[in-house]
Structure 1
Amino acid sequence: MNSPDPLDTIHDLFSSTQQKTDAYFAAESMPYHTDLYEQIDRLEFIDDDEVARLLEENGASTLSNQPLTLGDFLGGLAQLATMGVVEVTDIVESMHREIILRPIGRFNENHLSNWQGGITGRIYGVVRHIMFMVGNSLSSGLRLYKDVAKPTNGQILPDGLKKLVNVFNGVMGDHLVNNDNPLAIPMMFYDKDGNLLEEPLSGRLIILCHGLCMSYLGWDPKKESSLGQAISRSQPDATVLYLDYNTGRRISRSGRDLSRRLQDLVDSNPNINQIDLIGHSMGGLVARSALFYGEQERFDWVKRVGNLVTLGSPHHGAMLERIGFMVQDIISKVPFASSLAHLADMRSAGIIDLRHGSIRDADWKSLEGRNVLPPDFRHPTRLPSGIKTYLVASALIENHYNSKLTNLLGDSLVSITSALGEGGNAHTLFVPEGHKAVFYGVNHMNLMHSRRVREQVVAWLVDNGKSDFANRPRLHSYPKSLDLAF
């Protein structure tokens, strides 16, 4: 029997979709959606692990444990583009509604409900649903064509597209998971050369965790001057690994996932005797979350952790997310512009967690919608005992200038006190002064690549807890000098 032509198969798929669309509009009892954001909020009550379980039970595809291919990229992009059209349609409709109803005093719940059944509301519903169906059909068609014709089978995404996908995940990664979008990347480990981890492990592991909207490629694993390569040269017997994960998910979910995967590594490789964690920005919070849940679940891998190093991690939150939340709140109260606040509401749960540095489920699970507890109600998360912790902060200015403005400005994204875990009352991280370092003239992103930061991190790892840094004062490092001032 001859196999069907791929293009004919896709044509049949679209024909089937058209029939479903006609049936949809023929059913008078079918409600018209007018608020996509309420649907998104409802999705947030089901965490992404639960979504994956439900998809598996219903025979739907779950997130892959393999790197994304070009086929995944095309299919996910088609679905993502359609989601964008649907969301923009919702925002335009919301503004249209407000402009028409507010001036005549009818912007209330009763008239908003009647809007749905009116001709204008129905037109917006038609546009929304057609775009949703076309996008899903296009995505399914691309997946089907990939399976039948295999034009991109096994072709891993090039580095440039991989970085772009990680940006998508950082901005809306939780939405990608909830919509079973193939762009949602799984948590994976890569070796020191940037290749997918396959070989057995033993001895000491040093794991580098990237920050928001980034990937393992952000560490420049193949570059001789990178932090990972410098660590490998200084400790040839140690194994450097890079973590890659979806930074748009809740930080606590990524922390739980990392904890389980580290336990799997230890179970599969019992000769691992030490694990060190290095996290940049959000990566430091994910590492702390993993340690917290690893202790709670009494995982064996936590006992093997020797050092934790965080580079510019917002332990008490990031000022930029707080400002963004304030602006969104102000806009939402302005007549005729409140609908624009929905644009900011689309940002990922991972970004929302950065507002106060929330790394536990308890900081958000009891709340309605996409939010986090205020700082005074956030649950403290202490550092595990027996682990050497080193906290790195940076400042844009090049000279030591102790002022509130310098601290607040910090590295342009995270304040000095937040990066050093200070001034948080019950949330203060009790780390010895000698385990803290401030690098002047370094911005947030350059913390991953700065020569001075690289040399200091390598020195801490080489020392491996032998020296008594605890009795030393805080380290201050300045540019244009090889000296480190204490």
Structure 2
Amino acid sequence: MATTQPQTLVRTGDPVDAQIPDAITPAHPEPGLVDALALGALFADELIVATARDTHEAFARRTFDLLTGTSPFGRVTRGIHDAVAGTVYRGLSLGLQGAATGLSKVGATGVGPRLDASPQGRVLQSAVNGLIGERLKEEHPHLALTMTIRVDGRAVRPDPAELEVAFPEATDKVVVFLHGLGEHEGHWNTRAAEMGGTYGSRLAESDGWTPVFLRVNTGLSVAENGVALTALLQELTESWPVRVGRIALVGHSMGGLIIRAGCAVTTEHERSWRDVLTDVVTLGTPHLGADLALGVSHGSRFLALLPEIAGFGRILEHRSSGIRDLERGLPDLPPMEGVRYRLVSAALGSERSPVGAVFGDLLVRRASATGLRRSLRLFPDADVLHVANAGHFALLNHPEVDDALVGWLA
């Protein structure tokens, strides 16, 4: 088996060799509400208290410099102020750190509801992983998500026995769905009652596809998730109840970038999942970057210019590698040969509305979702669908996209 190359190579468009891990879903205690409270206390100290302290100190320093200069009275007054303020902030910090330690110990006993046991808990865990997922993996691994197959919210390991039970009506056509930043697989059920189902259910009914939904730690880098996706799809292909004849990948937002990064990973297998991949569909994916993510990056640098507001910039600097990858997208990664690409964009307002042209779907503009910028045409042979009068999250279950998917994957 080949060794893993540096993840930065995924951005160059060159294939990356990946060592398929023996277990991509290591067992760990399921995190609960108490664990989330412990993390909240820890970050309240690190972000809220620290930001308030640094901002207070910066304003106080400037004020004392202006009003008292270096006079003896000023030095005494400043010393008293600093001592009192320092004591207050240290007390708050120690209190929150103590609470975090205590709650962590209680959480380790399994007390309280599990996050995965409720829709609200799943939303919370997925959102936090999107914001700081890389740090969770390094410092709080019991709270970090791993890439897993999910059926009715339950994790399914990619081995023959579990897959056969989880997919009793498995067919040779597998369509895999990857959600976007801070989401989880349940987001594909958006408006399911109103729409009469989901993309997955309708593809199953119309043409015999078996839908497979993944849950991803979207705070990890796109490159790292791409390697994990390749590993998971290879195990899925080898362990599927029937011989896989065709695979289609559908990604919403960041999910589309992860799919493209996964397609750039090469492995040494006699029969690779890549051999049966026929279609890649991206929905509102920032192939050329997202303005909002780029704005956050510029904002953090601007805030760092003044000590009085630098603390707020440090809050933005805590954003995950996954969020940082949205700033640029994957403009240097070419499409995989022999695979049909289908690109869906959306925008507020009508087809020619200036609002839609400026704001796109509120998160991703049309040019980025379709890989077009000046002389750059990232997907020259792709089928493109533009959905007017729709926001970013409407693409999770939209009638126009539904009709297109059924036609594309026929």
TM range (shorter): 0.7 to 0.9
Aligned to 1:218: 187
State the one-letter code of the partner of 2:43.
M
Aligned to 2:206: 234
How far, CA to CA, are the matches of 1:314 and 1:262 in structure 2?
23
Aligned to 2:6: none
* Gap regions ≥5 residues in structure 2: 1-22, 70-78, 157-161, 165-169
- Given candidates 112, 119, 136, the residue that maps to 1:176 is 136
When residues 329 and 245 of structure 1 are mapped into structure 2, their CA distance, relative to the original with a 3 A threshold, is: same
When residues 89 and 64 of structure 1 are mapped into structure 2, their CA distance, relative to the original with a 3 A threshold, is: farther
State the one-letter code of the partner of 1:132.
Q
Aligned to 2:163: 199
How far, CA to CA, are the matches of 2:268 and 2:298 in structure 1?
34
State the one-letter code of the partner of 1:140.
K
State the one-letter code of the partner of 2:123.
K
Any idea what SS the aligned residue of 1:132 has?
Answer: helix
- Given candidates 305, 330, 334, the residue that maps to 1:382 is 334
1:185-231 CA distance string (max 9 Å, x none): 2211124x555433235511100111111110001187542111111
- Given candidates 365, 373, 397, the residue that maps to 1:423 is 373
- After superposing on structure 2, the runs of 4+ consecutive aligned residues of structure 1 that deviate more than 6 Å are 295-299
Match runs of 1:14-413 below 5 Å? 65=26, 69=30, 72-103=32-63, 104=65, 124-125=89-90, 127-129=92-94, 131-144=96-109, 146=110, 156-191=116-151, 195-197=154-156, 198-200=162-164, 203-220=172-189, 223=193, 224-236=196-208, 238-269=209-240, 271-294=243-266, 300-358=272-330, 380-398=332-350, 400-401=351-352, 406-413=356-363
Preserved CA contact (<8 Å) 2:28 2:142: no
1:99-131 CA distance string (max 9 Å, x none): 23345399xxxxxxxx9xx85657745643553
1:249-299 CA distance string (max 9 Å, x none): 111111111111111212323712221100011110111111112469998
Aligned to 2:75: none
When residues 341 and 127 of structure 1 are mapped into structure 2, their CA distance, relative to the original with a 3 A threshold, is: same
Preserved CA contact (<8 Å) 2:32 2:112: no
Which of 157-166 and 304-313 deviates more?
A: 157-166
- Given candidates 443, 446, 451, the residue that maps to 2:399 is 451
Shift of 1:63: 9.8
Shift of 1:78: 1.7
How far, CA to CA, are the matches of 2:29 and 2:387 in structure 1?
37
Which of 1 and 2 has higher RCO (CA within 8 Å, sep 6+)?
A: 2
How far, CA to CA, are the matches of 1:452 and 1:330 in structure 2?
41
Q: How many residues align?
A: 359
**CA-atom RMSD, angstroms?**
3.1
Shift of 1:445: 0.5
When residues 139 and 387 of structure 1 are mapped into structure 2, their CA distance, relative to the original with a 3 A threshold, is: same
How far, CA to CA, are the matches of 1:348 and 1:157 in structure 2?
25
Preserved CA contact (<8 Å) 1:76 1:181: no
When residues 63 and 256 of structure 1 are mapped into structure 2, their CA distance, relative to the original with a 3 A threshold, is: closer
Shift of 1:74: 2.1
How far, CA to CA, are the matches of 1:298 and 1:178 in structure 2?
34
State the one-letter code of the partner of 2:124.
L
Shift of 1:66: 6.0
How far, CA to CA, are the matches of 1:77 and 1:186 in structure 2?
21
How far, CA to CA, are the matches of 2:374 and 2:269 in structure 1?
26
When residues 312 and 296 of structure 1 are mapped into structure 2, their CA distance, relative to the original with a 3 A threshold, is: farther
Shift of 1:441: 1.2
How high is the sequence identity, in percent, across the aligned residues?
24
Preserved CA contact (<8 Å) 2:148 2:215: yes
When residues 64 and 432 of structure 1 are mapped into structure 2, their CA distance, relative to the original with a 3 A threshold, is: closer
Q: Normalized against structure 2, the TM-score is what?
A: 0.78
When residues 444 and 461 of structure 1 are mapped into structure 2, their CA distance, relative to the original with a 3 A threshold, is: same
State the one-letter code of the partner of 1:259.
T
* Gap regions ≥5 residues in structure 1: 1-61, 107-114, 359-377, 463-486
Which of 406-415 and 76-85 deviates more?
A: 76-85
When residues 413 and 295 of structure 1 are mapped into structure 2, their CA distance, relative to the original with a 3 A threshold, is: farther
Any idea what SS the aligned residue of 1:337 has?
Answer: helix
How far, CA to CA, are the matches of 1:164 and 1:79 in structure 2?
12
Any idea what SS the aligned residue of 1:456 has?
Answer: helix
How far, CA to CA, are the matches of 1:296 and 1:347 in structure 2?
35
